[in-house]
Structure 1
Amino acid sequence: MKTLLIFPKQSIQRLAALLLAGLFLSACQHQQLETKAELLVFGTLVQITTYTDSAPPAKHAIQKVEQRFQAFHHEWHAWEKGGIVSKMNQAIADRQPITVADSVKAFIVKSQKLAKQSDYLFDPGIGQLIEMWGFHSEHWQGPPPSEAQIQNWLSQRPSIADLYFEGNTLYSRNDRVRLDFGGNAKGLALDIAMQELRQAGIDNAVVNIGGDMRIIGRKNEQAWSIGIQNPQQPSQALAMLKLSGDESVVTSGTYQRYFEWQGQRFSHILNPNSGRPADHLVSVTVIHQDATSADAAATALLIAGPEHWRETAAKMGIKQALVIDQQGKIEQTKAMAKRSKLLGTSIIAR
């Protein structure tokens, strides 16, 4: 809290100073109205919070975001029948072209660019592998795929790189490509939400999709305080970040969704190069203005592992990242170290 000191001189100067102090404190105490909404979509809890001078416009904007999210979930869910992803996957399997909307093409092209930057560690074309491991179901049934199944998939190595466009018509060179945008769809949803809120004239907001966030502006003139979850104790934060302006913070973790089979734990994040779950890093947090890019990068860095995550981050233009390995060791980039406040843990920054 800032303090205004007034030194006694002549009475008129004292009165002027007191008036200025009153104006200063009144400005400090101005509180915008908080408007909140929660909904279940994308298989997780979504929270939308805005700070505005008037509540009705904020409520209306949040309702529009909710409507976009419900439609988005139907269209982009990898195994939601009737959605655009399902239709594209069926067309690819049938070796047929399919014409898509400009927005769909733009997202695929952007995802292709992100995949290439990551050396295809992030690859939305591996839906068949994800299905093989049983992650196209809300409840995993088991068992894991056999070695022969994995090697058969690797021999074909379907990838989003196999897709190409002629105008707005999508083609695939490989009929085993199955699109699954679980690696960056939440990021796209965050970007869409902020676009809607900005168009409604809202300058201060945070959208939280299962712990992945994009923020704009500030919270009553203060930066947003964001905690990074402790993988060993998920109810606690191991670090705090201050975000303001227009930023996204996204975390990918092997501890968030997994299954166990015969005493072994398998993460839902799969390495396209091995056909198996990523198992070296347990958590990666990335800050980037664009949530779609942050989401893809967090996935790619986690798959890259302790030896290569920095190289992958550089290729993807990521300057702010924090990673945690299986032993609980934390490393982060220098740019991230300037932002994060670690809570009782040692850290390596270089």
Structure 2
Amino acid sequence: MALAFPPSEVTIRLVIIVLALLLLGACSGHEQAEVLELQGRTMGTTYSVQLANPPPDIDPAALQQSIADELARINAQMSTYDPDSSLSRFNQSGSTHWFAVPPELAQVVAEARRISRLSDGAFDVTVGRLVNLWGFGPEFHPDRIPTPEAIAKTLAVTGYHKLAVRADPPALCKTQPELYVDLSAIAKGYAVDRLAEVLAERGFGDYLVEVGGELRAAGQHPERPWRVAIERPESSTRAVFRVVRLNDIAMATSGDYRNFFEQDGKLYSHTINPHRGRPVDHLLASVSVLDESCMRADALATGLLVLGPEDGLALAEQQGIAAFFIERLESGYQAHMSSAFERIAGASESPNPSAP
């Protein structure tokens, strides 16, 4: 299968599903919980589906094939690594007329544009050429800092306002022939939502779905609510920063430290500021967002990370976004949460992985 995103993307997202599973086991008083787990690879990363108390007549192989087929279908629409995907063909087109696309691709782009307007362009799926310019996209090149001239030239052909979408008939349109769309900060969240729908359609009510670190939970684990971990934002280690209990909600996390390169002692993150055409360089290390839609949480986490600690928290408060921020200071890490996050998850969280 052609990759939708680079293989290193599995390390970009900050929620550690493996640690979450260890937490579940460590607090269990039973030898073995009734959980069926299906795992695989997709979009250059991994996926995991956990079903609590599965029925005895379940066919795991058939269910896993259905999951794989759904992920392959999404990949065939939204990949920038597959030259034959619907999105790649739109990117390759120099036409400024309406370009027919599958309904789901139009749906994801429409949501991306909504988040772009909400964040005043901090989230922008048209930064694909800037991502490529900095060496984080399919057009790989050795780590290097682009010239100011190259950045300015690329900025001139980006901007979400140059991308239009319609639902009926589903189509995309660009006013700039060189516009390039990259859905890597929203497509995995959409894939999580679709897998959740597949499970619900088959009558499953207790599950935890994860694709590349983006998660969505329904019901609960056989012994307690589903518990996941937000990672401590360090490139050299993997450790839990905070434990979150999920109940019929999704969580997505974006950070600045897993996919980067270093030059002359300075780190350059894969997260690009669409207004400046350069990687973010503020003190905000990661943002986690809770939402009913993993697609929306995925995009919002990136947008808030781009905005930075002050503007990101201000937008979260203004819009009622449930967001958890980890800021990197000389004295260590400092966490902030929006009022919505505290209301939804604050009382049910624990910074201690061994806590019940």
* TM-score where L is the length of structure 1: 0.82
Distance 1:151 1:73, change over 3 A: same
Q: Give the Å deviation of 1:293.
A: 0.6
Q: Give the Å deviation of 1:219.
A: 0.7
Larger CA deviation: 297-306 vs 167-176: 167-176
> Which residue is equivalent to 1:99?
100
- In structure 2, which of residues 280, 291, 295 is the aligned counterpart of residue 292 of structure 1? 295
Q: Give the Å deviation of 1:56.
A: 2.0
Q: Give the Å deviation of 1:228.
A: 0.9
Larger CA deviation: 95-104 vs 133-142: 133-142
* Native 8 Å contact 1:226 1:240 kept in 2: yes
1:39-54 aligned at under 5 Å gives the runs 39-51=40-52, 52-54=54-56
> Which residue is equivalent to 1:181?
183
Q: Give the Å deviation of 1:44.
A: 1.6
Percent identical among aligned pairs is 24
- The runs of at least 4 aligned residues of structure 1 exceeding 6 Å deviation read none
* Native 8 Å contact 2:95 2:174 kept in 1: no
1:126-205 aligned at under 5 Å gives the runs 126-137=127-138, 141-159=142-160, 161-165=162-166, 167-205=169-207
- In structure 2, which of residues 202, 212, 215 is the aligned counterpart of residue 213 of structure 1? 215
Give the letter for the 1:110 counterpart: E
1:52-90 Cα deviation digits (max 9, x unpaired): 132524553332112211232233112321001101112
Larger CA deviation: 228-237 vs 188-197: 228-237
What are structure 1's unaligned runs of at least 5 residues? 1-27, 345-350
More relative contact order in 1 or in 2 (CA 8 Å, sep 6+)?
2
1:111-152 Cα deviation digits (max 9, x unpaired): 211211111111111111111111113865121211111122
What are structure 2's unaligned runs of at least 5 residues? 1-28
Matched positions, count: 313
Describe the SS at the equivalent of 2:245.
strand
* Native 8 Å contact 2:106 2:165 kept in 1: no
> Which residue is equivalent to 1:224?
226
**Aligned alpha-carbon RMSD (Å):** 2.4
* Native 8 Å contact 1:117 1:315 kept in 2: no
Please give the alpha-carbon distance, in whole angstroms, between the structure 2 residues aligned to 1:151 and 1:35: 51
Distance 1:55 1:148, change over 3 A: farther
Please give the alpha-carbon distance, in whole angstroms, between the structure 2 residues aligned to 1:161 and 1:55: 51
> Which residue is equivalent to 2:253?
251
Please give the alpha-carbon distance, in whole angstroms, between the structure 2 residues aligned to 1:329 and 1:97: 47
* TM-score where L is the length of structure 2: 0.81
* Native 8 Å contact 1:186 1:209 kept in 2: yes
Please give the alpha-carbon distance, in whole angstroms, between the structure 2 residues aligned to 1:315 and 1:156: 31
> Which residue is equivalent to 1:34?
35
Describe the SS at the equivalent of 2:81.
coil
